[in-house]
Amino acid sequence: MGYLNTFPLSYKVQGLRIVIVGGSEEALNKTRLATKTTAQVVIISRHIEADFSTFAVEIVERGFVPSDLDSTALVFVAEESADADLAKAEARARNIPLNVVDVPAECDFYTPSIVDRAPLTVAISTEGDAPVLARLVRARIEAMLSPRIGKIASLAGGLRHKVESLIHDGAARRRYYEALVTSPAVEAAEALGQGAEAAEALLAQHASTTQASGVVWLIGAGPGSEDLLTLRAQRLLQEADVIVHDQLVPDAVVQMGRRDAEQISVGKAKGHHSFSQAQINTLIVRLANEGKKVARLKSGDPMVFGRAGEEIAALRKAGVPYQIVPGVSAALAAAADTATPVTLRKVSSGFIMATAHGADDSDLTHWAALAQSGLTLALYMGKSIASDVAARLIAHGAAPSLPVGIVVNAGRADKSTYSGTLAALAANTIAFSDGPAIIFVGEAVEAGDWANAAQLAGMSFKVA
Ligand code: SAH
């Protein structure tokens, strides 16, 4: 993530002045923005040219004097003149934030694009780099937010004390507010001017229901890019009180949860000492029994090498409600990254997801036969033992010439790929880059796009 040169914040202007020096179209643009606030907006210029008549502003048609900046929160300068220079100097002397229109170097602050649903404000800034992008993003957010959402936010603000006295549990209170701002009934009532009544009715309903019990969502986080998360996963992450995640889930995905959600890393990276599976089972049951909504976030798909079986059994045994949200498993991300159809008409009639780690001779005999018959193997947890597994597959009857493709960090920006044959992998001496890997073995691998892949042991299958 990059760093910002500006700090986004909401700045208090109530009871203060916003002074705009200038009388032209640019000054009018800033007036439009400034009059969205309750500040007293003052326009100062010897030349008032634009039509300010539709705005509640004070027009001062004269030169600038220093006392113009008394009780002033912000200054905009939108003309080039001796008055403007005086105003800039005075603003700087008084440490009042200054914006000089179209002169970024002289600005203490920039004005973002604003989606205005007062009191809800969404400010979009590109620090001046890409105003067009800011406008596009703004249009999307405009479309997303009901015009009445601001009114409903005000209702929520007005009800705060009542909510606190009626609902004592923090999580339950949050559930009420969530229900309030997403309720179609409240929105419809608000449109008729009866939002307050509807909000109170909803409050009464929430106050009377006993505290909701906890739940565990087993959520697939996908291979590690935020945009390979499902919409459902994203929504539930936003709702969760606690996020219990594996080491393999990148921070960027964990951070898609609520900012105040508790985050617990339960490790489970190879070679890391961390929570045992039994401890994880106990933890998620305990959290749910405390009434919390628990997001158990696993890499890829939770049902594929995710120890979901054990966690589900523990939840069932404890009578904790649960739900499973699928995710993009690493092998599918690897197939996408390399345009490899893991099933392919007349070549591969199926696709095996298997763990290389802990595979015994009978597993290998079995897979060698499947790979020989055309099926594609996707081996998980095999990077550190890749050569060994390749040699054993050959020993158990797989053809040394079978195509192999490896994707490290599938589905992520920093992926790397390798290709060759089973024999090349068995003899491989090149070091793979850091990160988890999927190893594909089978005829269908050749149909993928491995043109940019590093060659295993200098041998390769032909690229179509
Ligand atoms: N539930 C996960 C698998 C967890 S087991 C899933 O469905 O993807 C851990 C193994 O998954 C790793 O050893 C590696 O083989 C594979 N893996 C996980 N993330 C990966 C990624 N981004 N790229 C390649 N392989 C990955």
Tokens standing for 366? Answer: 């079995």
- Residue 298's contacts (CB-CB under 8 Å, 6 or more residues apart) are 218, 219, 220, 221, 245, 246, 249, 306, 308, 327
Residues 185 and 166: their CA atoms lie apart, in Å, by: 21
CA angle (422, 428, 432) in 5-degree steps = 105
- pLDDT classification of 268: cutoffs 50, 70, 90: low
Interatomic CA distance for residues 302 and 322, integer angstroms: 13
Output the pLDDT for position 260: 84
Instruction: Give the active site residue among 246, 293, 301, 337.
Output: 246
Q: How large is the average pLDDT for residues 82-99? A: 97
| Identity of the highest mean pLDDT range in 160-174, 182-196, 362-376, 436-450 | 436-450
Q: If you average pLDDT over residues 76-87, what whole number do you get? A: 97
How many CA atoms lie less than 13 Å away from 220 in the CB half-sphere? 20
Question: Residues lining ligand 1, judged by CB closer than 6 Å?
Answer: 223-224, 248, 298-301, 304-306, 329-330, 334, 380-381, 407, 409-412, 436-438
Cα distances from 453 to residues 341, 379, 408, 412, 441, in angstroms, run 17, 18, 11, 15, 15
pLDDT in the model for residue 272: 56
In the sheet where 437-441 sits, what is the strand order? 351-355, 376-380, 437-441, 403-408, 416-421, 454-455
Encode pLDDT of 305-318 as tens digits. Answer: 999 999 999 999 99
- Catalytic residue chosen out of the listed positions 30, 88, 151, 268: 268
Q: Is the bond leading into 119 cis (omega within 30 degrees of zero)? A: yes
For this structure, is 85 an active site residue? no
Mean pLDDT is lowest, of 244-248, 256-260, 291-295, 329-333, for 256-260
pLDDT in tens, 226-245: 899 998 899 899 889 999 99
The pLDDT, as a whole number, for residue 111 is 87
User: Could you tell which of 218, 246, 253, 305 is best to mutate to test the pocket of ligand 1, judged by most ligand atoms within 8 Å of the CB?
Assistant: 305
Torsion-angle region of residue 22: left (phi > 0), alpha (psi -120 to 50) or beta? left
The residue-averaged pLDDT of 37-56 equals 96
Query: Known catalytic residue: 30?
Result: no
* Cα separation, 57 vs 35, whole angstroms: 8
Most confident of 178-192, 211-225, 441-455: 441-455
Q: What is the mean pLDDT of the chain?
A: 91
Distance (Å) from CA 161 to ligand 1 centroid: 48
**Dist. CA 270 → ligand 1 center (Å):** 11
Which is more confidently placed, 179 or 49? 49
CB-based contact 70:94 (threshold 8 Å): no
pLDDT at 450 over 90: yes
At 51, which amino acid appears?
D
pLDDT in tens, 139-165: 888 888 888 889 998 989 999 999 998
CB atoms within 10 A of CB 219: 30
pLDDT of 269 reads 56
R_g over Cα of the chain: 31
pLDDT of residue 182: 81
Q: What percent of the chain has pLDDT over 90?
A: 68
- d(CA 235, CA 223) in angstroms, rounded, equals 18
Q: List pLDDT tens digits, range 279-300.
A: 999 999 999 998 899 999 999 9
Q: Is the pTM of this model over 0.85?
A: no
Confidence tier at 171 by pLDDT (50, 70, 90): confident
What's 115's DSSP letter? E
Name the H helices within 290-329.
Answer: 308-318
Give the H/E segment covering residue 74. Answer: strand 72-77
Region of residue 74 (left: phi > 0; alpha: psi -120 to 50; beta: else)? beta
Residue 411 alpha carbon, nearest atom of ligand 1: 22
Q: Can you tell me whether residue 135 is helix, strand or coil?
A: helix
pLDDT for res 143: 80
Model pLDDT, residue 146 = 82
Residue 66: per-residue pLDDT:
97
Question: Which pair of tokens denotes residue 62?
Answer: 């004269």
C-alpha–C-alpha distance, residues 23 and 42, integer Å: 11
Residue 447 DSSP one-character state: G
Question: What Å distances lie between residue 342 and 319, 345, 353, 359, CA to CA?
Answer: 39, 10, 11, 21
Alpha helices in 94-148 (DSSP H): 131-144
Mean pLDDT of 341-363: 93
What per-residue confidence (pLDDT) applies to 1? 57
What distance in angstroms lies between residue 392's CA and the mean position of ligand 1's atoms?
22
| Mean pLDDT calculated for residue range 374-396 | 95
Nearest-atom index, ligand 1, CA of 303: 1
Distance between CA 27 and CA 336 in Å, rounded? 52
Atom of ligand 1 nearest to the CA of 223: 22
Instruction: Report the atom number in ligand 1 closest to the C-alpha of 381.
Output: 13
